[in-house]
Structure 1
Amino acid sequence: MRGVVLAGTSSGVGKTVATLATLTTLEDAGYQPQPAKAGPDFIDPSHHEALVDAPSRTLDPWLSGADGMRRTYWRGEGDICVVEGVMGLYDGSKASTAAVAEGLDLPVVLVVDAKAGMESVAATALGFARYADRVGVDIDVAGILAQRAHGGRHAEGIRDALPDELAYFGRVPPTPDLEIPDRHLGLQMGSEAGLDRGALETAAETIDVERLVEAAREPPAVAADETVSDTAADRRVAVARDSAFCFTYPSVLDRLRSGAAVEPFSPVAGDPVPDADAIYLPGGYPELHGESLSAGGTLDEIADRAADGVPVYGECGGLMALSESLTTTDGDTYEMAGVLPAAVEMQDRYQALDHVELSARTDTVTAASGTHLRGHEFHYSAADVAADASFAFDVVRGDGIDGDHDGLTEYNTVGTYCHCHGESGAFDRLLEVPSK
């Protein structure tokens, strides 16, 4: 599967809209596009998936390692993979878009905001292409996609100003209908605020799809590393999946399915917890569903399973749901599962945003003692933890729960602010740890 990276000159330049327009024009031209996202985001991929009905692959060398990133890429299915970048091309201390493009040897198409420039758009693109040599990054900036560019003299001026080594892949015209509402943690999810297909098709008419396909290329192959448990047919993992627990990397589900039957359930709907050997509560927006979660009974059932020694793993929103209470920014407090000794309260600004490294203090459901986990944290909540609380991890990089520790633990349960990728090893452990 060939691929291309759509990278921005900065955050806010319109990479998501450009990516969605590119996916649309590929699909309309008869290609099967495979979406992907550089970096640890959950929200942009939800828009990719809502548009083309295919899981968007998360590509991040910090979360998964270089080989894990390549394996994640090759799990995709399609003719052309379109990788949406993160921030600006070179931004990111641990996992920049440039690092992803270099690790996969994919060409870069630079998304440049052209609303107030012509020759300056070409100068910007040329500077980004040459900066790779300055910082020792081996990437190929193949050309540009002009975001918010008008037709006629505006588009012709941009195209004519480009040097020969930079191709003009077309433009995305300014379109008021292509605005995605946002909230804390970023844009609204694709299932909530998907863009109008007709507006995307109109915007995509000015993208040179055949030139883009011609520029795409295949990354290096990498050996598969899927260890399927001998007991996979007998093991079951219950996974919360609804609007409160919606941050799940496709690679995590892939890994769980390689060693168990995955049983989805909805705490928001008050579903009974499936009879399972382990329970996974992903991140999401429990703060938007406090009343339903508190009254539905599912969290009480999770608490009973946890007390019985069933392995339970909660990430961010999962940590919040496993805590004693959750207080919203409006001051409403809801009772949660009460498994972990913490009161969680939403804040007006984000409390952590970074790639994370944790060192396991003891054997847990996601890591053996002394081993390290890598992941990502981004949350607006803060946890007030009991003085006698036990932590599973020391923080090597990041903020964790209290700056020094992460992974509140009780029984056979761990709740953490760290989101782990399927290639991190965390879910290998979850598939192996028995109930106590």
Structure 2
Amino acid sequence: MKGVVLAGTSSGVGKTVATLATLTALEDAGYRPQPAKAGPDFIDPSHHEALVETPSRTLDPWLAGEDGMRRTYWRGEGDICVVEGVMGLYDGSKTSTAAVAEGLDLPVVLVVDAKAGMESVAATALGFKQYADQVGVDIDVAGILAQRAHGGRHADGIEDALPDDLTYFGRLPPLSDLEIPDRHLGLHMGSEAGLDRAALSTAAETIAVERLVDVARTPPEAPPEETDSDGSPTDRRVAVAEDSAFCFTYPSVLERLRSEATLEPFSPVAGDPVPDADAIYLPGGYPELHGEALEAGGTLDGIADRAADGVPVYGECGGLMALSESLTSTDGDTYEMAGVLPADIEMQDRYQALDHVELDARGDTVTAAAGDSLRGHEFHYSAADLGSDASFAFDVVRGDGIDGDHDGLTEYTTLGTYCHCHAESGAFDRLLELPSK
């Protein structure tokens, strides 16, 4: 499967809209697009999936390693993979868009805000192309997609100003319908605020699809994953929370779990009973938006009972919040949570952590054996007030964790952490290996 990376000159330049319009242009031209996202984001991929009804692949060499990133890429299906970048092309201390493009040997199409420029747009693109040599990054900036560019003289002026080794891949017109509302963790999810397909098709008409297809390249094959499993499902069952409060799940994680277990989805927001399972997984999401429903629904009480019985429970970020004693919103409303972990969670006005994370396991736990290291990602607006009996699973090597030095609250066979892990981290292998209860 060939692919191309859509990279921005900076955050806020409109990469998500450009990606959605490009996916639309490919579909309208008869191709099967496979979306992907550079970096650890959950929200932008939800818009990709809502549009083309195909899970978006998470490509992050820190989370997955370079071989794992390539394996994740090759799990996709389609004719052309469109990879949405993160921040600006070269931004990111551990995972930049440039690092993803280099690791996959994919060409870069630069999304440039052309609202108030013509020749300067070409100068910007040329600078981004030449900067790769300056910093020793082996990437090919193939050309530009002009964001918020009018047609006629404006578009012609941009294209004419580009040097011969930079291709003009078209433009996105400044349409008011191409705006996605946002909130504290970023954009609204794709299921909540997907862009109008007709508006995207209008924008897609001015994208040079065949030029994109011609420039796309096929990444190197990835070595097979080293695992003791033959990939055949067993009689193991894993309950997975799945609703608007628990919606931050990497497709690769579900695929890994599904390879050796039957997944039993349930909705704590809807008050579903907890499925009879050998392990419970609570992904991240927005429990702070659903405190009243979570408190009243009864599902968290069921999780608490299973945890007390020794069933392994793993909560990531929003899952940690739900497993705690209480959750207080920014409005000051406090809701009782599962009460498994000795912490009271309070939402803050600004983010408390945003980084790639490395953790060392202090002892055997749900996602790691003693001495193991895990890599992941954290991004949260909440803070934890810990009980005196709090016990931690991890020392923080990189990141903030729960208290700056530690992460992973434990009780029974339950783990709650601010760290989101990818399937290639090995965390979910460990979860699948734990004894059944």
Q: TM-score, normalised by structure 1?
A: 0.99
1:388 positional shift: 1.9
Match in the other structure for 1:152 = 152
How far apart in 1 are the matches of 2:244 and 2:142? 39
Structural mapping, 1:9-24, within 5 Å: 9-24=9-24
How far apart in 1 are the matches of 2:323 and 2:146? 46
Gaps of 5+ in 2: none
Q: Partner of 1:116: helix, strand, or coil? A: coil
Report the residue type matching 1:403 in the other structure.
G
1:415 positional shift: 0.1
How far apart in 2 are the matches of 1:359 and 1:272? 34
What is the CA deviation profile of residues 37-65 of structure 1, one whole-angstrom value per residue up to 9, with x for unaligned ones? 00000000000000000000000000000
Match in the other structure for 1:304 = 305
Change in 2 beyond 3 A, CA 1:230/1:257: closer
How far apart in 1 are the matches of 2:260 and 2:123? 51
Runs of at least 4 residues off by over 4 Å:
none
Change in 2 beyond 3 A, CA 1:231/1:155: closer
1:229 positional shift: 5.7
How far apart in 1 are the matches of 2:51 and 2:108? 22
How far apart in 2 are the matches of 1:264 and 1:214? 41
- 8 A Cα contact 1:226 1:258, kept in partner: no
Q: Partner of 2:165: helix, strand, or coil? A: coil
How far apart in 1 are the matches of 2:326 and 2:281? 19
Q: Partner of 1:428: helix, strand, or coil? A: helix
Report the residue type matching 2:374 in the other structure.
L
What is the CA deviation profile of residues 294-322 of structure 1, one whole-angstrom value per residue up to 9, with x for unaligned ones? 11111000000000111000000000000
Match in the other structure for 2:262 = 261
Match in the other structure for 1:127 = 127
- 8 A Cα contact 1:108 1:139, kept in partner: yes
Change in 2 beyond 3 A, CA 1:214/1:399: same
Match in the other structure for 2:233 = 232
Q: Partner of 2:424: helix, strand, or coil? A: coil
1:223 positional shift: 2.4
1:226 positional shift: 6.8
Match in the other structure for 1:396 = 397
- 8 A Cα contact 2:272 2:299, kept in partner: yes
How far apart in 1 are the matches of 2:85 and 2:232? 39
Alpha-carbon RMSD across the aligned residues, in angstroms, is: 0.9
Report the residue type matching 1:351 in the other structure.
Q
How far apart in 1 are the matches of 2:223 and 2:401? 33
What is the CA deviation profile of residues 311-337 of structure 1, one whole-angstrom value per residue up to 9, with x for unaligned ones? 000000000000000000011100000
Match in the other structure for 1:90 = 90
Report the residue type matching 1:92 in the other structure.
G
What is the CA deviation profile of residues 347-394 of structure 1, one whole-angstrom value per residue up to 9, with x for unaligned ones? 000000000000000000100000100000000000101122100000
- 8 A Cα contact 2:278 2:311, kept in partner: yes
Structural mapping, 1:15-414, within 5 Å: 15-225=15-225, 227=227, 228=229, 232-414=233-415
Q: Partner of 1:423: helix, strand, or coil? A: helix
- 8 A Cα contact 2:231 2:259, kept in partner: no
Question: Number of residues paired by the alignment?
Answer: 436
Gaps of 5+ in 1: none
Q: Partner of 2:290: helix, strand, or coil? A: helix
Report the residue type matching 2:162 in the other structure.
L
What is the CA deviation profile of residues 175-210 of structure 1, one whole-angstrom value per residue up to 9, with x for unaligned ones? 100000000000000000000000000011000000
Change in 2 beyond 3 A, CA 1:297/1:163: same
How far apart in 2 are the matches of 1:259 and 1:90? 38
